[in-house]
Structure 1
Amino acid sequence: MAWSGLKFGTVVCKGIGGACAQLVFGAVVDVHVYALISSRCLILNAKAVQSLSGNTRLGFCNRRVRTVHSEKLFLIRKWNRCLALAAMPSDECTASSCICLSCQGPNPMIARYIYGILFLLTNILAWTTRDYSQRALTDLHHLKRCEDDANCLGSESVLRLSFGCFMFFFVMFMTTVGTSRKDDPRDRWHSGWWPVKSILWITFTIVPFFLPSVVIQLYGEIARFGAGIFLLVQLLSIINFVYLWNESWMSPEHERQCYIPLVVVPMTCYILTFIGLVLMYVWFTPHVTCRLNIFFITWTMILVIVMTIISLHAKVNAGLLTSGVMSLYLIFLCWSAIMSEPLSASCNTRERQTGKADWLTIISFLIAFLAIVFATYTTGIDSEAFSFKKKDESKDDGSLPYSYGFFHFVFALGAMYLAMLFVGWNLHQTMHKWSIDIGWASVWVKIVNQWLAAIIYGWTMIGPFVLKNRDFSS
């Protein structure tokens, strides 16, 4: 389709589905095409230095958009749908004057949401089979050893589905690791081929139910280690986020407008930290014999004080934003650890339901479950926290929006982590319906994670002064 011998005026056309085009034609013009793709705004600029009249031609085809003016050619590739534009004799804009734009072939930004949905569906299925599918599971030959123990059936079903989810993302990791450019064929494999990957996902979901129990128990032991690695990766991602947040607000271009937030946010974090400490002492230490809880809470308070003092040291000067956020995070980990204590623990004064789960228990379970899935997703796309390249060295027009291999690696570890939460880090533990991450193993995993968080954050502050010859800027 081409138009020849047309003279364009100034045209502003709104497109379909949020996409829009602003086309300004004149003696010296800039043409800006805005397209809303995957919730991101893509801006394509083309400059014309002469009047768009006479022999101007606008050509549109399936895989490319060409704007030809005299001898100048602007070639934009990577489009798979036609760009429709109606030529108008004046400034009028009708419904037919629109722009329809979408990326050619697979889109990695959309692909990550699809992988997240697959991960969510698998774990919803794991929770469902754990709590409500014991009768159906007894019909499977390889689960006969558990037919007199419904909780054993539930734990095995969680591990089997977790194993299938792990294998799916591990295969994706092995086939995409090392991908660094958009022109790599593996880019299409990561972002496309969904019929094939759907079959692969279904296969890995079903096959583990026909494996011997000894294989699943071996996977469960390995999953404990993998879940620990996931917690470490997530911890590093959180610390990296806190530092990026602080750097953004402290940057010269934002320092003035973020002056008030730089005061209010740390103050709020420390107020919430103090309130959290008081409430934990009230709720979880009803008498002096609750020595373990007293130790957990008191040690958390000591860690908060030490981190704050280090951050305010003249040589460190890390500010209160990072230490305030990390202090609140330590409070959360301590609270979460104590909440994971078994129902038989006598030092927890909160109401416990040993029978049918109430609405508060169900809502708490759903919030915790969705929060963990979201944390897995956000950690998976935060590959820059584990990159040894500086930003200006790792980004260009042909680079990937995120590391595909790291993304799938985190989801594979996340499958192990969710399995451990559903069985309470104990492969033979009795789990109640609508419960997640309950048991003494869960308690100590969270407490150790809290200590690691304090140690790693403290090292990021004092490390540059201990190892003066090493560059910590990245």
Structure 2
Amino acid sequence: MGAVLGLCSAAQLACCCGSAACSLCCSACPSCANSTSTRLMYTLMLLLTMVVACVTLAPGLHDQMKKVPFCANSTALVPSNFKVDCDQAVGYLAVYRICFATCLFFCLMALIMIGVRSSKDPRAGIQNGFWGIKYLVVIGGIIGAFFIPEGSFAATWMVFGMIGGFCFIVIQLILIIDFAHSWAERWVSNYEETQSKGWYSALLLAMLSCYALTLTGIVLLYIFYTKPDGCDLSKFFISFNLILVVIASAISILPSVQEHQPRSGLLQSAVVSLYVMYLTWSALANSAGECNASFTGDKQSSFDKQSSIGLVIWVFSVIYSSIRTASSCSKITMSEHILAKEGSGGEGGLIANEEGDGGEAGRDETKVFDNEGDDVAYSWTFFHVVFALATLYIMMTLTNWYNPSSQLSKENAASMWIKITSSWLCVGLYVWTLIAPAVLPDRDFS
């Protein structure tokens, strides 16, 4: 028993303090690809950062900090020389500082991993191991970020946050389009193979549900974000996006599109339409107060419904990019740069191919196997860039894309235009995935 515990302790010590890959996240699996284990560990790091940032926004935390003796506004008897301003440890500015340190960590990792071609590179150990040290670096960076003078830090970092958040929205919609295509292809394939009415009913029900939610969303947007007199810009956004999703849905069932992509159809269009309506809602939530149903006049309003949905979509996108291998649509959606290559780690990148593990003995020896000896399964540099952008997006989402000042307001014209522009890009990119095989017949999109 002691020997077993010793081996486990040694393995986890190598995972945390050495260059060995971590198998904690795949302990329930028969075997796990090194690339998948690493991506899941970085995902866990990002999710933990998000949780910490959410804690700083917890209602009542500001009042509780007044009871801490070393806080400047505390009534406890502590010498003034030892007191600090605890107001910086909570609220939107705290989220900015936490995400600032996390974003810098991923940017640093992106720079370190430039040019890595395989796990034989000496830098592979930094990518796949030293997890304890990495977490200490992130924690130290977050603590250090709270010592940055306020000055113009928030206003400057908000500009970076908006630019990075917009870039991640583009990446997120690429992942959603890839998910929609993969979902439809899997269910259509199951229906064609089994001729089961169950799969056909599931396809029809999913498509109708997404379109019903989209139509409901459009009606609610007209009710809550427009008025009979005025709000012309809001009316234009809603009407224009409605026209775009109708056009995209019509294109998806054109004979020329069906000829090159027999499995493209209304299910993908329904998913994209629903996401476009969410982006429209999110944009209108930052519109002028007289046309904004979410505007209550409360300057310290924190997390709202559209931000909560955005958080759920963000979590889905990050996890999807970590466990999903690239589909055949990746050549069109460019997600082969985000997702691992097909076959790099077995089905879905989680479970290894039994013939490639060296037999039963090989699977007993290790939970994690190296699948990047000849070539990396994904771009390590681009992966860290995506996670840096994801950090900026979650920063802006948790702060509702507001201006992080003492006069918080839901009105933010810059974020409104960023989100509405991203909705147009979403439709454009989806239409491109439909027409690309027909427009460029010489290219192989299979």
Contact 1:176 1:405 in 2 (8 A): yes
Contact 1:379 1:410 in 2 (8 A): no
Map 1:199-278 → 2, pairs under 5 A: 199-211=136-148, 213=151, 218-251=156-189, 256-257=195-196, 258-278=199-219
Matched, 1:419 2:395: yes
CA distance in 1, matches of 2:407, 2:195: 52
* Equivalent residue number for residue 288 of structure 1: 229
Deviation at 1:376, TM superposition (A): 5.3
Q: In terms of Rg, which structure is larger?
A: 1
Deviation at 1:175, TM superposition (A): 3.6
* Equivalent residue number for residue 354 of structure 1: 298
- SS of alignment partner, residue 138 of structure 2: helix
CA distance in 1, matches of 2:213, 2:41: 38
Cα RMSD over matched residues?
4.3
Q: Deviations over 1:61-106 (max 9, x none)?
A: xxxxxxxxxxxxxxxxxxxxxxxxxxxxxxxxxxxxxxxxx999x9
Contact 1:286 1:349 in 2 (8 A): no
* Equivalent residue number for residue 123 of structure 1: 53
- SS of alignment partner, residue 256 of structure 2: coil
* Equivalent residue number for residue 300 of structure 1: 241
Matched, 1:198 2:135: yes
Q: Deviations over 1:214-268 (max 9, x none)?
A: 6665544333322222111111111111111111112266563422212221122
* Equivalent residue number for residue 365 of structure 2: none
Deviation at 1:115, TM superposition (A): 1.4
* Equivalent residue number for residue 162 of structure 1: 99
Q: What is the letter of the counterpart of residue 352 of structure 1? A: T
Deviation at 1:132, TM superposition (A): 3.5
CA distance in 2, matches of 1:419, 1:451: 23
For structure 2, list consecutive stretches of 5 or more residues without a partner in the other structure: 2-22, 74-86, 259-263, 347-355, 357-369
Higher strand share goes to which structure?
1
Higher helix share goes to which structure?
2
CA distance in 2, matches of 1:310, 1:210: 54
- SS of alignment partner, residue 255 of structure 2: coil
Matched, 1:331 2:319: no
Q: What is the letter of the counterpart of residue 120 of structure 1? A: M
Highest RCO, 1 vs 2 (Cα 8 Å, sep ≥ 6): 2
Contact 1:227 1:413 in 2 (8 A): yes
For structure 1, list consecutive stretches of 5 or more residues without a partner in the other structure: 2-34, 44-101, 140-149
Deviation at 1:189, TM superposition (A): 3.4
CA distance in 2, matches of 1:137, 1:426: 27
CA distance in 2, matches of 1:130, 1:164: 25
Q: Deviations over 1:325-360 (max 9, x none)?
A: 111111221122222335xx2224467362776xxx
Q: 1:387 aligns with which of 333, 336, 356?
A: 336
* Equivalent residue number for residue 433 of structure 2: 460
CA distance in 2, matches of 1:197, 1:167: 12
Matched, 1:447 2:388: no
TM-score when scaled to structure 1?
Answer: 0.63
CA distance in 1, matches of 2:224, 2:206: 26
Contact 2:307 2:397 in 1 (8 A): no
Q: Deviations over 1:280-320 (max 9, x none)?
A: 22222231322112111111210121011111111112211
* Equivalent residue number for residue 41 of structure 2: 111
Sequence identity (%)? 30
Contact 1:333 1:446 in 2 (8 A): yes
TM-score when scaled to structure 2?
Answer: 0.67
Matched, 1:313 2:243: no
- SS of alignment partner, residue 416 of structure 1: helix
CA distance in 1, matches of 2:99, 2:294: 31
Moved more, 127-136 or 192-201: 127-136
Contact 2:299 2:407 in 1 (8 A): no
Contact 1:173 1:408 in 2 (8 A): yes
Moved more, 125-134 or 273-282: 125-134
Q: What is the letter of the counterpart of residue 447 of structure 1? A: I
- SS of alignment partner, residue 136 of structure 2: helix
* Equivalent residue number for residue 132 of structure 1: 62
- SS of alignment partner, residue 29 of structure 2: strand
* Equivalent residue number for residue 41 of structure 1: 29
Contact 2:49 2:98 in 1 (8 A): no
Contact 2:25 2:41 in 1 (8 A): no
Q: What is the letter of the counterpart of residue 332 of structure 1? A: Y
